[in-house]
Amino acid sequence: MNGHRLSALAEAIGGEWLVRHDDPVIAQLSIDSRKPFAPHDTLFIALKGERHDGHRYLSDLHARGMRQFIVSDAIDAASLPASNVIRVRDTCDALQRMAAWHRRHFTAPVIGITGSNGKTVVKEWLFHLLRDTEHIVRSPGSWNSQVGVPLSVWGMRAEHSLGIIEAGISQPGEMDRLRAIVHPTIGIFTNIGPAHGEHFADDRAKAMEKALLFSDARVVIYCADHKEVADALRAQGIDQRATLLGWSRERNRWLHVVREEPVAHGQRIRVMNDQADFDFEIPFADHASAENAIHCVALLLHLGRSPQWIAERTPHLPPVSMRLEAVEGANGITLLNDAYSNDTASLAIALEHLDALAAGRPKLVVLSDLVGGEASQLRYARVEHLLRQARVSAVLTVGPELATHALDFAPRVQHFADAEELLARTDTAEFADHAVLVKGARAFGLERIVARWQRQVHGTVLEIDLEAIRHNLNHYRALLAPGTRVMAMVKAFGYGGGALELARLFAHEQVQYLGVAYADEGIELRQGGVHLPIMVMNPEPVSMEVLHRFRLEAEVYDERSVREAIRFAKLHADAPPVHIKLDTGMRRLGFTEDELPQLLALLRDAGPLRVASVLSHSAAADDPAHDAFTRGQIAAFTRMADAIDAALGYRPLRHLANSGGTTRWKEAHFDMVRLGIGLHGIGVDARETSQLRRAATLRTVIAQLKPAPDGSTIGYGRSGVALGERLIATVPMGYADGLSRRLSNGVGRFWVHGQAAPIMGTVCMDMCMIDVTGIDCAVGDAAVVFDASHPITDVARDMGTIPYEVLTSISQRVKRVYVRG
């Protein structure tokens, strides 16, 4: 079964037909209007939330070919001709009921996984261990939410012999809905911990909610050493309906962990029960990996796999990356690195990320042969469908299987025996300015392609979480009235995060405007393929010809700049519009109210000049102490903008609010808001900051460790002095990377394995020394300046400055890595 008639789905969810054109077979579900789709068999579900509403995009989707819709709002059916439109009370509930109905069509065993941590790792490791003997459907990535779970279950087909679905919750009442969708026959309860605990009284309450997933399961695997887990399974009566298979390090259970010991490349674990007593190894040394692996081994023993079969496979467990990583490559390419796994489910997710990363640029996919129990013909037919739907411009394949399948839909398809042949016969210059997905099974070693093609920079990294920035953007959008536009500020190298990649993200997220400080920043975006309108907040004279050539829109702020814009507009009918800057109290750039008459006189005789917007800058919108001043600015801006409207005879856009003003001053939203630092996770106050996600991590690695005897000195000028025997680590980050000298001599610190390591002595140009005494660390371990757990605001406080300065001071020689959650 590869789909259902739309009429059957409508009946299953109790939907009302608003328009009925035909009755297609639906194979795919879509909830994101930005993603590619196959019009003939895709059903769009218009989900609504605090920060999004799929109903806003129905007309655009229809124009692109979508013809099947599920909605909850009243809509004008005439606006969607030749379509099928079904109305329900709640579209999210309809999605969940549709998935639960779909699940009932299949009898293959399904493993349901829940817990506070380890769900995704256990799921991916089980897939890795079983893929050669089972045809598996599994949750893509970390799709374990109220929306992700039904979309995962929708992927079940008759040919699958096993399902592996993870389920997560954040509030009471959620798991019962997921239980009906997953309906697991086998359960794994990984652990219980603090994650997502804000809506639960304690860990016991959270464990009780999670245990509901297994209400209809036949077998549940769990760690009996986690008391809250064991108690919850019994309190919910799971032990009366299912066989509980507990494992323990401390006592006799169904499976006893006898010993865990380090080995050269990981650890060796000995387990025993009534049927088996054996060792297995894993290539990871940490406690969490051991626990995840024991869950997998317990499940494999339950499925009847022999100790020898298990021990042969566990040493090859792969690292599980929770996020796809994008890095800058040579010749303007951007590399999306997913070189450690390859199957059709993860390929579909990776191609969606590639589409977002490309932002209109051509797309290249480097793809190895796939893994999994699916028949080869079916597998590669699915691959071709995904690549065709993603509209890639070139495909480079690695491995013997893909070489035998004709992929003739792309302008260029080329086959290679292995990664080395591909590297020897290709050059990144052939794919200049492409977005490149490198996607391969671990055995093919495609990580060598990423290593060769990426831009070579030193080991200090600024990691930008694009999913966090998207979350923050949606936080601010939820504060705006419908129709209010957003200008995303990407000046100063995108607040240090890389203007081009952020601009591509904002284009994908359908932001209406970008803002830069100087024309050369806008030119770089245009040369990188960004097509959004760009406003240049340019305080220096720049040639209007240059702005015209690159379709950049200048801010005009004095009589000279307005006259020049008028002159150029009279000579060029397609001259770019301008943005008029008003000074309402900042005393920086712009026309004051006293200077307004001169401006109005110029505008009345402006001829063909087009004014896109009128703007001002609030001086203290984020500070309640200056609220009276801010009200005065809003009032002055309104008066002056009204006068400009009258002089022009039309109403340009108005914008005044920055991130802080967007949060605190609804009356300052006008037609558009300008978002900057808030997009990076820094709110107007502690409460808002807790609702945002910190987007940046600055880290490096330990290059050397050495003891410092009592009284010895460290660094230039001997300013650092060892008080007692100390262990000093040298890290390759200095003031040329953006690490301020103000953090010298213990003012600042790095974080090594979660512990503070104060800076010793003076920060050097290219490196500094930190005190790691008492911290269990080694050369190559990470040393973090700031991340989600150690906020950039703390670094700014230590420097006596603001987070803006910290971010924008990070040197461009520091490698930017872009990840998606």
DSSP state of 596: H
Q: Count CA atoms within 13 Å of residue 617 on its CB side.
A: 15
- Name the burial class of residue 304, with classes exposed (0-12), middle (13-18) and buried (19+) by CB atoms within 10 angstroms of its CB: exposed
C-beta of residue 423 within 8 angstroms of C-beta of residue 405: no
Cα dist from 369 to 159, 345, 426, 452, 667, whole Å: 20, 14, 19, 21, 57
C-alpha span between 644 and 596 (Å, rounded): 9
The residue type found at 386 is L
Listing DSSP states for 7-62 in one string gives HHHHHHHT-EEEE----PEE-EEE--TTS---TTTEEEE--B-SS-BGGGGHHHHH
H-helix or E-strand spanning residue 124:
helix 119-130
C-alpha span between 234 and 668 (Å, rounded): 55
C-alpha span between 111 and 219 (Å, rounded): 10
Report the 10 Å Cβ neighbour count for 526. 16
Beta-carbon contacts of residue 234 (< 8 Å; ≥ 6 apart): none
Quote the longest CA-to-CA distance of the chain. Answer: 94
C-alpha span between 335 and 330 (Å, rounded): 9
C-alpha span between 398 and 384 (Å, rounded): 15
C-beta of residue 708 within 8 angstroms of C-beta of residue 694: no
Residue labelled with tokens 């959620």: 174
C-beta of residue 790 within 8 angstroms of C-beta of residue 750: no
Token duo for residue 760: 């010793």
C-beta of residue 67 within 8 angstroms of C-beta of residue 39: yes
H-helix or E-strand spanning residue 421:
helix 419-425
C-alpha span between 488 and 470 (Å, rounded): 11
Report the 10 Å Cβ neighbour count for 145. 17
Report the 10 Å Cβ neighbour count for 207. 27
C-beta of residue 472 within 8 angstroms of C-beta of residue 481: no
Phi/psi of residue 124, each to 5°? -70, -35
C-beta of residue 582 within 8 angstroms of C-beta of residue 615: yes
The residue type found at 334 is T
269 beta partners: 260, 280
| Helix (H), strand (E) counts: the chain | 28, 41
C-beta of residue 819 within 8 angstroms of C-beta of residue 325: yes
C-alpha span between 465 and 698 (Å, rounded): 12
Token duo for residue 113: 């996984």
H-helix or E-strand spanning residue 749:
strand 749-752
- Name the burial class of residue 690, with classes exposed (0-12), middle (13-18) and buried (19+) by CB atoms within 10 angstroms of its CB: exposed
Task: State the catalytic residues.
Answer: 491, 716
H helices within 605-758, ranges in order?
627-648, 659-664, 686-691
Beta-carbon contacts of residue 356 (< 8 Å; ≥ 6 apart): 34, 504, 505, 508, 820
C-alpha span between 93 and 595 (Å, rounded): 58
Beta-carbon contacts of residue 58 (< 8 Å; ≥ 6 apart): 44, 46, 69, 71, 75, 79, 80
Report the 10 Å Cβ neighbour count for 252. 11
